[in-house]
Amino acid sequence: MFLLTLIAVEYRIIFDRHVQASGHGKGVVDSQNGVDKTFLDAIFNCLVGHPEEDVDGVMNVTLTKLEDGERVSLAEVALKLLSSPSRREGVLSYNRKDDRVIRERRYFLREIGEADLEDMDLVAAGWKSQKRSGIRCHYNFIADWELGVGRIAARRVPCSCIGCIAKSQLPIKERYSGPCIDCDLWPIFRLNDNEGLNDFKIIEFQAKKDHDEEATRKAKGDTLRGRGYVEAEGVVDGGYGVETVSDGDKDYDYYPLIWDGTPYQIEEDGLYEVEGVDEPIQLAKGEFVCEAYWMYKIDGAPQWYTPSEYRGFIRMQQVLAPNLEMTPVSDGCQLPRSMSPSQIRELIEKGAMNISDYHHALLIEESLRRAQMDFEEDEFEEQYGDEDDFPEACSAEDEEDVQYGSEEE
């Protein structure tokens, strides 16, 4: 569920997960797992009974033999059995090839430590300390990008009545708080006028004592890089973007910019010089960057900016908004009256542009959410040192190897 919150933030989407069990044991996947289990049970039971004998003359498997001092992996044995050519395509005489729902079965082996984030051990906090109020008594979990990373809105029963849909459209602060009085189910769940049994609660994921923080950092790093990819798609050459503010810069809430070109991916890991920044910055292969001119804020005129001549790399994962609307001076959008006409004329010539209160509020909200994703830059480098795992997550050759194990055995 924690990972759902990361995906929600990465793509700015809402995951509304309804837990149910109507298809339990009846789905295609379940039926296949059942078939596999029965098949493996038959072979393993047979082996335990007569360990020295070959199994039915089909294949000779070893469960306990030590190979080079290491115990044979049971999962590897299962993979080999299940991937045998006769099983892979099913029994042809019983199924006409074209009519079958499943034409080919592919099995994969995942070694311990091979998957990312295995060590992430989090606990969901925020449940009421009452009987039947824990996670098992909840069947609706919402990962909303506006809630940010690590937060889930949970309720007992999912509902998509008109009242609940209307509530889901409210601003984030009201969306998951207060009683669900407009819900069709309110008469059933009502405790009093201010509280019902099916109200949302916000659940927060917290680290367990021996939690591996690296895993969470890795997950957040992946999300940031994904976010960069998404932001890159929104860039318009010559349009306005906004970058997160650097640590310790108290003068700016965020940095507005004017894109100069379109985003591209870094080809090699390395240190890159950036105009206007003293130290070169470490960029990872595959990361999206775009060149842009920064804008200066105008003293005495909040949310007004003029273009500068400073141009440099912008890391797309640092971008708060790739395509911001900015407005020039007009009848409805004026520089402060305290400015003299000559000052105003000069600023108009310099290309002064305004960010509306509405957009300003959105940018502040987004930068708060982004702060949750912050972690030390050097840790980022360690994680991505020589990986190129985004966006080409897995190549076709790798897949081939894993699927059927090695052929010569």
Binding site for Zn ion (CB under 5 A): 159, 161, 164, 183-184
Q: What phi and psi, each to the nearest 5 degrees, are found at residue 224?
A: -60, -45
Task: Indicate the residue among 63 and 191 with the shorter CB distance to Zn ion.
Answer: 191
* Nearest approach, Cβ of residue 162 and Zn ion (Å): 8
Beta bridge partners of 70: 67
Task: Indicate the residue among 188 and 277 with the shorter CB distance to Zn ion.
Answer: 188
Task: Indicate the residue among 159 and 316 with the shorter CB distance to Zn ion.
Answer: 159
Report DSSP letters for 109-128, one per residue. ---TTTSTTTT--EEEE---
* Nearest approach, Cβ of residue 306 and Zn ion (Å): 50
Task: Indicate the residue among 75 and 165 with the shorter CB distance to Zn ion.
Answer: 165
* Nearest approach, Cβ of residue 154 and Zn ion (Å): 15
Report DSSP letters for 157-204, one per residue. S---SHHHHHHHTS-HHHHTSS--TTSTTHHHHEEETTEETT--EEEE
Half-sphere exposure of 213 (CA within 13 A, CB side): 5
Task: Indicate the residue among 49 and 187 with the shorter CB distance to Zn ion.
Answer: 187
In which element (H, E) is residue 346 found? helix 341-349
* Nearest approach, Cβ of residue 181 and Zn ion (Å): 10
Q: Exposed, middle or buried by CB within 10 Å (0-12, 13-18, 19+), for 29?
A: exposed
Task: Indicate the residue among 16 and 204 with the shorter CB distance to Zn ion.
Answer: 16
- In this structure, are strands 304-315 and 353-354 parallel, antiparallel, or unpaired? antiparallel
